[in-house]
């Protein structure tokens, strides 16, 4: 399987270079918890969309795709059939380097056996570890070898896809960090371990996001502090 095959599961492809996202850097505010470090400060209006939470108050992974789908539907009139660009933080544990195998990701394989049974031999342990690593690799995504987009304190892989790629990437890898259409009419920013997605765009677009009750969105400015996923 190639790198492209991995990302194709999400209907997207890795970019060969970071040029599609280089316009972002000079428009970001200081690195920190504010919306301005997640979304370029070039838009007329902003909103914040909270991610769904479970009964214990934690971000509900199962509810993220649904919330993103509603948000993308609200943005559809300003998107049309245009190609989307986006980034993915390089540090997600579901990404690995092909040369480094499982060890290059943030995940690891552990082995256990019945303490009341016979202790496995070194050969049995080696075979079991190789099989477990092969199973784990099948669930991971190979990171591209292309140059990464360098933003303050974070590096990102750049990808190109369609609207559905945003949701599919969440299922295959993680929530994309930044998303924007080719004409840059709007922008989504999702800081690492976020509990909220920041939106920038023209006033009528933001009004549409705020009017969609299922999003529970609130108006914001570049200085708005985003809620992290603790």
pLDDT tens digits along 22-67: 999 999 999 999 999 999 999 999 999 998 887 777 788 778 888 9
> Percent of the chain, pLDDT > 90?
52
pTM of the model: 0.85
> Can you give the C-alpha Rg of the chain in angstroms?
20
Q: Is 72 exposed, middle or buried (0-12, 13-18, 19+ CB in 10 A)?
A: middle
Nearest 5 degrees, angle CA 27-CA 157-CA 60? 90
What secondary structure letter does DSSP report for 12?
Answer: E
Tokens of 103: 């060890």
What ranges do the domains of the chain cover?
Answer: 3-95+142-220, 106-137
Tokens of 94: 């579901």
Tokens of 91: 């540090």
Tokens of 36: 């301005």
**Which residues make Cβ contacts (< 8 Å) with residue 123, sequence separation at least 6?**
none
How would residue 1 be classed by pLDDT, with cut points 50, 70 and 90? very low
Whether the predicted pLDDT of 91 surpasses 50: yes
Helices marked H in the chain — which ranges? 3-8, 61-75, 122-137, 163-172, 203-211
Tokens of 59: 């971000």
Handedness of CA 28, 216, 53, 166 (dihedral sign): negative
pLDDT, tens digit, for every residue of 182-207? 999 999 999 887 889 999 999 999 99
CA distance 143 to 141: 6
pLDDT, tens digit, for every residue of 100-116? 666 656 666 677 777 88
Q: What is the mean pLDDT of residues 121-136?
A: 74
Instruction: Return mean pLDDT, the chain.
Output: 86
Please tell me the total number of residues recorded for the chain in this structure.
230
Tokens of 121: 């031999």
pLDDT, tens digit, for every residue of 146-163? 999 999 999 999 999 988
What pLDDT shows up at residue 86? 95
Tokens of 230: 């603790």
């Amino acid at each position: 399987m190639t790198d492209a095959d991995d990302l194709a599961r999400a209907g997207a492809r890795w970019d060969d270079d970071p040029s599609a996202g280089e316009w972002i850097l000079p428009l970001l505010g200081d690195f920190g918890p504010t919306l301005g470090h997640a979304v370029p400060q070039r838009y007329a209006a902003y909103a914040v969309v909270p991610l769904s939470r479970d009964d214990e108050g934690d971000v509900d992974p199962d509810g993220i795709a649904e919330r993103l789908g509603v948000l993308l539907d609200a943005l559809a009139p300003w998107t049309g059939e245009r190609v989307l660009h986006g980034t993915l933080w390089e540090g997600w544990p579901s990404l690995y380097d092909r040369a480094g195998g499982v060890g290059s990701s943030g995940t690891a394989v552990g082995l256990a056996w019945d303490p009341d049974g016979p202790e496995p031999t070194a050969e049995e342990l080696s075979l079991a570890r190789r099989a477990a690593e092969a199973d784990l690799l099948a669930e991971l995504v190979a990171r591209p070898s292309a140059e990464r987009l360098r933003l303050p304190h974070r590096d990102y892989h750049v990808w190109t896809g369609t609207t559905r790629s945003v949701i599919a990437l969440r299922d295959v890898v993680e929530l994309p960090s930044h998303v924007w259409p080719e004409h840059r009419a709007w922008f989504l920013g999702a800081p690492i371990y976020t509990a909220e997605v920041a939106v920038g765009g023209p006033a009528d677009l933001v009004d549409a996001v705020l009017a969609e009750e299922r999003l529970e969105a609130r108006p914001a400015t570049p200085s708005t502090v985003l809620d992290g996923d603790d």
